[in-house]
Amino acid sequence: MKKKWVAVVLSFLFPGLGHIYLGRFPIGITLIVLTVGSWVLGQVVNPVIGLIYFVLWIFAMIHSAKITREINAQMQR
């Protein structure tokens, strides 16, 4: 069984890491690429684009908690 708190803390540290911990590599890598891209664009183009980073950060934490519940429910069957 995967621990929800580990997935959420990893996602808190960097969006995508919690998904990689859960074995959801495609979405984890996608979140990492989008996070880095939004940060770079926020620095280079327009700081408002940096808000995308914040949205991804929140999404990653919530989604990793949800996915952990689903994975653990499947393992108990």
How many other CB atoms sit within 10 Å of the CB of residue 75? 9
pLDDT, averaged across the chain = 93
More confident residue, 75 or 26: 26
Per-residue model confidence (pLDDT) at position 59? 96
Cβ atoms 75, 23 nearer than 8 A: no
Q: Identify the pLDDT of residue 53.
A: 87
What pLDDT, in 10s, does the model give residues 10-35? 999 999 999 999 999 999 999 999 99
Say what the pTM is. 0.89
Q: What confidence category does residue 47 fall into, taking pLDDT thresholds of 50, 70 and 90? A: confident
First-to-last alpha carbon distance for the chain, in angstroms, is: 12
Rounded distance, CA 39 to CA 10, Å?
18
